[in-house]
Amino acid sequence: MTFSELGVPFRWCSRTWTMTKITRMAKPCRGQFAIASGCRLLSVKPVDPPLTSERYKVSRLPFSQVTAQDLNCFQQLVPGRVVTEEDDLRSHNIDWLRTVRGHSKVLLRPQNTNEVSEILRYCNERNLAVTPQGGNTSLVGGSIPVFDEILISTALMDQVISFDDISGALVCQAGCVLEALDKYLERRGYTMPLDLGAKGSCHIGGNLATNAGGLKLLRYGSLRGTVLGLEAVLPDGTILNCLNSLRKDNTGYDLKQLFIGSEGTLGLITAVSILCPRKPGAVNVALLGCESFTRVLQVFTLCRDRLGEILSACEFMDAASMKVVQTHLKLNNPIPATAFYVLIETSGSSAHHDEEKLNEFLAQALDTGLVTAGTVATDQTKILSLWALRERITEALAHDGYVFKYDLSMPVNKLYTLVEETRARLGKSAKTIVGYGHLGDGNLHLNVTAESHTDSLLAALEPFVYEWTAQHRGSISAEHGLGFKKRDHIHYSKSTEAVHLMQKIKRMLDPKGIMNPYKTIPSSD
C-alpha cells in the first residue's frame, strides 16, 4: 500500500505503508472552463453534427416563420442586439457535446426583464417559437433549437442586484456566470451553494432551469432548497415576481418550484435570489484508490461515519475514467493505478479539527485495507489538481469520440452493476465505457463513446439503460434534465398521471406551446 502526501504533514506513517513522495502535479485546470466548449482544442475545424430534425426524424410544429418585419420589430425591442449572421449563430445552434444542431436564424440579447417580456409578448402573439439559452452547456440538447426557434440569450443579463452580507442572500440577473458569482462572493467571505465543471460558462438561470446538482449537493443540498425566490417571464409576457429573499414563506403554492427544473418550457427565468453559505475556512481533498466497487461503498460509509459534518463531497470514478483524463488531457494521476478512485472533500471552519478527523479516517481506511493508496491536498493549487481529475472527465470524453451520456440515480449499491452489464452487453462495439459520478448522491454517470454516432449502438443502449434503471427504482435523469434527448423516456421515471398533470400545467401556462418546444414534456397529442 502506498500513501503519498501533498500538503498535509504525513502523520499516518506505519510500518505497513510505503510512502511515495509526489514531486510534480498537473497544473490546476478548473479555470479553463471559463471557455468550457473552447476547452476542446481541436486542431482542425470540427465537422458539424447533422441537423437534429434529420437525425431524430422530428416534424416541425406549425409555428410561424421569422419574417423581415419580425426582425425590424426585434430591432426596436433590443436595438443592436439582434444577431442574424450565420457565423455568429453557429455556436448557438450546436450543443456543447456537438450532438444536436438546429438552424435558428435569429438570436436576441435582452439586457433586462422588461425587454424579455416585450420579446415574449411579441413572439406569443405571432406564434413564434423560442428557445431560452444560458451558457449552452446542456448535456441533453435542451438549449439548442430543434428547427428555427428564436434563441433568447441571457448573456447580457449579468448584473448582481443585491447581496445581504448578514443573511447571505444574493439577488442577481439570470445571465450571471456561476463562477463569476462565486468570485464575487469569495471577496465577501461567502460561496455559491452550487459547483460544477461547467461553472466558467453556465449561467445561474440555466442552473435553475435544469435544477443542476453538481459536486457539492452532498453539502449544500438541491437548488430546490437554496433558491429563495425567482422572477420569470411567462410566454405571454407577464412578469411573475417571486423574487423574495425570505427563508420562510408559506403563503400559498411555492410557484418558484415550477420553474426550477422546467428547462425553459414554462417561462424564462430573469432573476434569482439564492441563499449562499459562508466560504469554508479549511478545505482538504483526498484522492483514494480502491480495488473494487464494494470497497468504494465501504469507504463512503466510513467517511460519512468518521467525517460527519465536515464531509462536503464524495465522488467516484473508475479506471477507464482516469484513463481518459490522462490520455486526452494529459492530467497526472498522483497515486498508483487501481480499479476505482474516490475523491473526498472536507470543508469546515477549523483546519486543525478537520485535519485531525481526516487523519483518523484515512488511518482507518488504510488499516482496514479499504484503500490501497491515496494522496491528500490542503493547498489550493493541489486541491484544484485533484478536482480536475474528476471534474474534467466530461471534457476528456468529448475528445474520445461521440458520447452517449446517461445520468442516472439509483440505490447506491447498484451504481456500478449497470456499468459492468453495459460492458458485457456492448462488447467491442463501443470505444470506451466509463462510470463516474456523485457517489454521495447515488448518481451514476454512465458514458459510452464511439468513433461516431450509430443507430445500432443507440439501439443497444436504449431502452436497455432506461429499463434497467426503472427496474431498480432509479431515475433516468438525476441532474441533467430531459431536454430534447430524453423527453420521450420520461415514463420510465414518472407515472402516467404525473405526466398528464405536467402536460396540463404546460398547456395552462403556455397554450400555444412556444416555449422550448420538442423538449422535456412529451406532447399530449
Residues that bind ligand FAD (CB under 6 A): 36, 96, 131-139, 142-143, 154, 174, 196-198, 202-203, 205-207, 209-210, 212-215, 263-264, 268-269, 394-395, 479-480, 483, 516, 519
63 with 14: CB under 8 angstroms? no
Kind of pairing between the strands at 107-108 and 150-153: parallel
Q: Distances in Å between the alpha carbon of 111 and those of 34, 155, 181, 287, 451?
A: 21, 8, 18, 43, 41
Tell me which of ligand FAD, ligand MLT, none is bound by residue 348, counting a contact when its beta carbon lies within the kind-specific cut-off of 5 to 8 angstroms. Answer: none
CA atoms within 13 A on the CB side of 211: 18
Kindly identify the residues of this chain, within the stretch 391-420, that bind ligand MLT according to CB under 6 A: 393-394, 407
- Which residue's C-beta sits nearest to ligand MLT? 394
Q: Least distance from C-beta 284 to ligand FAD, angstroms?
A: 21
Q: Write b or e for each residue in 120-158: b if 16 or more Cβ atoms lie within 10 A of its Cβ, otherwise e.
A: bbbbbebebbbbbbbbbbbbbbbbbbbbbbbbbbbbbbb
Nearer to ligand MLT, 82 or 418 (CB): 418
197 touches 321 (CB < 8 A): no
Regarding 136 and contact with ligand MLT (CB under 6 A), the answer is no
Per-residue cell: 189: 467571505
Cα–Cα dist 306/357, whole Å: 7
CB of 445 to ligand MLT, least distance (A): 4
Grouping H, G, I as helix, E, B as strand and the rest as coil, residue 294 is helix
Residue 513, binding choice from ligand FAD, ligand MLT, none, Cβ under 5 to 8 Å by partner class: none
With CB under 5 to 8 Å by kind, the binding choice for 357 among ligand MLT, ligand FAD, none is: none
Residue 345 found at the interface with ligand MLT (CB under 6 A): no
d(CA 451, CA 446): 17
Q: State the number of binding residues for ligand MLT (CB under 6 A).
A: 5
> Does residue 222 belong to the site contacting ligand MLT (CB under 6 A)?
no
- 137 or 265: whose CB is closer to ligand MLT? 137
Pick from 102, 110, 141, 197 the residue near ligand MLT by CB under 6 A.
Answer: 197
Residue nearest ligand FAD (C-beta atom): 206
Please say whether the beta carbons of 145 and 102 come within 8 A: yes
CB of 35 to ligand FAD, least distance (A): 11
Q: How far is the CB of 416 from ligand MLT (least distance, A)?
A: 16
Neighbour-count burial of 367, counting CB atoms closer than 10 A to its CB (0-12 exposed, 13-18 middle, 19+ buried) = middle
445's contact among ligand FAD, ligand MLT, none, with CB below 5 to 8 A by partner kind, is ligand MLT
**Footprint on this chain of ligand MLT (rule: CB under 6 A):** 197, 393-394, 407, 445
